[in-house]
Amino acid sequence: MSHQSDLIASDILAYLKSQEEKGLLRFITCGSVDDGKSTLIGRLLWDSKLIFEDQLASLEVDSKRVGTQGEDIDYALLLDGLQAEREQGITIDVAYRFFSTDKRKFIVADTPGHEQYTRNMVTGASTAGVAVILIDARKGVLTQTRRHSYLASLVGISNVVVAINKMDLVDYSSDRYEEIRAEYEAFAEQLEFESITCIPLSALKGDNVIAHSEQTPWYQGQTLMAYLENVNVTDNAMGQPFRMPVQWGVRPDLDFRGFAGTIASGSVRPGDEVVVPGSGQKSRVKRIVTMDGDLEEAVAGQAVNLTLEDEIDVSRGDILADPLARPAHADQFEARLVWMHEDALLPGRSYLLKSGATVVPAQVSALKHRVNVNTLEHQAAKTLELNEIGVCNLALGKSISFDPYRENRGTGNFVLIDRLTNATVGAGMIDFALRRATNIHWQALDVDKRSRAGLKNQKPGVLWFTGLSGAGKSTIANLVEKKLLSLGKHTYLLDGDNVRHGLNRDLGFTDADRVENIRRVAETARLFVDAGMIVLVSFISPFKSERRMAREMLEEGEFLEIHVNTSLDVCEQRDPKGLYKKARSGQLLNFTGVDSVYEAPENPELVVDAGKVSAEDIAEQIVREVLGDDAVWNVPDGTER
Which tens digits make up the pLDDT trace of 290-339? 988 999 999 988 999 999 999 898 989 999 999 999 999 999 999 999 99
DSSP string, 144-195: HHHHHHHHHHHTT--EEEEEEE-GGGGTT-HHHHHHHHHHHHHHHTTS--SE
Q: Is 625 helix (H, G, I), strand (E, B) or coil?
A: helix
Confidence of residue 583 (pLDDT cuts 50, 70, 90): confident
For the chain, the structural domain boundaries read 7-230, 237-321, 330-436, 449-627
Instruction: Tell me the C-alpha distance between 627 and 571, whole Å.
Output: 29
- CATH, range 237-321: 2.40.30.10
For residues 381 and 389, the answer to whether their CB atoms sit within 8 Å is no
Instruction: Tell me the C-alpha distance between 340 and 385, whole Å.
Output: 8
The letter for the amino acid at 40 is L
Largest Cα–Cα separation, the chain: 97
Strands 461-466 and 534-538, by their bridges, are parallel
Instruction: Tell me the C-alpha distance between 321 and 274, whole Å.
Output: 5
- CATH, range 449-627: 3.40.50.300
Over 80: is that where the pLDDT of 59 sits? Answer: no
DSSP assignment, residue 602? S
Q: Whole-number mean pLDDT of the chain?
A: 84
More confident residue, 415 or 6: 415
More confident residue, 143 or 443: 143
Over 50: is that where the pLDDT of 93 sits? Answer: no
- Name the CATH superfamily for 7-230: P-loop containing nucleotide triphosphate hydrolases (3.40.50.300)
What residues form DSSP beta bridges with 396? 362
The mean-pLDDT minimum among 14-18, 210-214, 445-449 falls in 14-18
Confidence of residue 442 (pLDDT cuts 50, 70, 90): low
Alpha-helical (H) ranges within 399-505 are 435-439, 449-456, 473-486, 496-499
Q: Is 541 among the residues known to form the active site?
A: yes
Over 60: is that where the pLDDT of 63 sits? Answer: no
Confidence of residue 116 (pLDDT cuts 50, 70, 90): low
More confident residue, 138 or 631: 138
Same fold, 330-436 and 449-627: no
**What's the gap between Cα 265 and its chain centre?**
22
Confidence of residue 212 (pLDDT cuts 50, 70, 90): very high
Domain 330-436 classification at class level: mainly beta
Nearest partner of 558 among 568, 566, 546, 550, judged by Cα: 550
167-197 pLDDT, tens per residue?
Answer: 999 999 999 999 999 999 998 988 889 899 9
- Which residue among the candidates 153, 355, 469, 541 is catalytic per the annotation? 541
Confidence of residue 585 (pLDDT cuts 50, 70, 90): confident
The pLDDT score that the predictor gives to residue 69 is 55
The pLDDT score that the predictor gives to residue 92 is 38
471-524 pLDDT, tens per residue?
Answer: 999 999 999 999 999 999 999 999 988 999 999 999 888 888 888 999 999 999
pLDDT exceeding 90 applies to what percent of the chain?
50
Which distant-in-sequence residues (6+ apart) come within 8 Å of 277 by Cβ?
319, 321, 326, 327, 329, 401
For residues 492 and 528, the answer to whether their CB atoms sit within 8 Å is yes
Over 60: is that where the pLDDT of 199 sits? Answer: yes
**What's the gap between Cα 31 and its chain centre?**
23
